[in-house]
């Protein structure tokens, strides 16, 4: 895979990933606090589930980075297939909370969506570092780089933010005006 293809794949994945928490109603993470509509569970069980799931996501991210950065790729198609497999595994891992709580209608807060957005940012970032290391040397980055890329990731989430928060409020106001 050439550098241009890797960059466009990352941009496309960033655009899709940044908007997923804002479009998807189901939870993508197990959070240690109870959200509206979630069943009652003991606080310790909720906390342990959150810690275990976060640990599994961290191990998955480490494994994904390891596979992408240290595998000798024979062809560009091989790198693309391995990265597609990593993306599919992450999608399945993020779908586990939604699948386990599918019978409940959970209202996610803005903070929960922001945490989900951050988790997806980390996975896309690990994929980018894996691409960079498979295509050449990995350059050391400071905190400024991560602050800028997170800001760009938030900018890519703007269409989902508009659909979730701005247009929804407008629809409610229009419906109220028509009812009067």
Q: Tell me the torsion sign for CA atoms 7, 8, 14, 15.
A: positive
Q: What is the pLDDT of residues 12-24, one digit of tens each?
A: 989 999 999 888 8
Give percent of the chain with pLDDT exceeding 90: 21
Give tens-digit pLDDT for 110-122.
898 999 999 999 9
Task: Give CA separation, 4 vs 121, 128, 131, in Å.
Answer: 20, 12, 11
CB 131 within 8 A of CB 138: no
Q: What percent of the chain has pLDDT over 70?
A: 90
pLDDT at residue 126 is higher than 90: no
Query: For residue 136, is pLDDT > 80?
Result: no
Within 8 A by CB and 6+ apart from 142, the residues are none
Coil, strand or helix: which one is 42? coil
pLDDT of 74: 61
Summarize pLDDT for 57-110 with one digit per residue, the tens. Answer: 999 988 888 887 776 666 677 777 888 888 888 889 888 888 888 788 888 888
For residue 56, what are the CA distances in angstroms to 34, 49, 63? 21, 11, 10
Quickly state the pLDDT bin for 132 (edges 50, 70, 90): confident
* Per-residue model confidence (pLDDT) at position 144: 93
Phi/psi region, residue 42 (left: phi>0; alpha: psi -120 to 50; beta: rest), is beta
Q: Which of 84, 91, 90 is nearest to 68 (CA)?
A: 84
Cα separation, 145 vs 127, in Å, equals 16
- What was the pLDDT predicted at 175? 66
CA distances from 110 to 80, 113, 145 (A): 34, 5, 25
pLDDT of residue 68: 78
Burial 27-52 (b: 16+ CB within 10 A, else e): bbbbbeeeeeebeeeeeeebeebbee
Give the mean pLDDT of 163-180. Answer: 70
Summarised one tens digit per residue, pLDDT across range 143-170 is 999 999 999 999 999 999 998 888 866 6
User: pLDDT-derived band of residue 173, with 50, 70 and 90 as boundaries?
Assistant: low
Query: If you search the block for the tokens 């240290």, which residue do you land on?
Result: 70
d(CA 107, CA 124): 25
């Amino acid at each position: 895979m050439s550098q241009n293809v890797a960059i466009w794949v990352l941009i496309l994945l960033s655009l899709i990933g940044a908007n997923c928490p804002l479009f998807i109603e189901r939870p993508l993470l197990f959070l240690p606090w109870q959200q509206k509509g979630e069943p009652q569970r003991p606080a310790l069980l909720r906390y342990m589930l959150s810690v275990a799931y976060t640990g599994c996501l961290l191990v998955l991210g480490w494994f994904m980075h390891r596979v992408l950065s240290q595998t000798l790729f024979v062809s560009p198609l091989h790198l693309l297939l391995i990265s597609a497999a990593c993306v599919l595994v992450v999608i399945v891992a993020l779908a586990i909370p939604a699948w386990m709580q599918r019978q409940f209608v959970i209202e996610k807060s803005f903070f929960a969506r922001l945490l989900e957005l951050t988790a997806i940012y980390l996975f896309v970032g690990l994929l980018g570092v894996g691409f960079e290391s498979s295509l050449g040397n990995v350059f050391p980055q400071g905190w400024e780089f991560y602050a800028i890329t997170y800001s760009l990731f938030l900018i890519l989430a703007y269409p989902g933010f508009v659909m979730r928060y701005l247009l929804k409020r407008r629809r409610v106001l229009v419906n109220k005006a028509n009812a009067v």
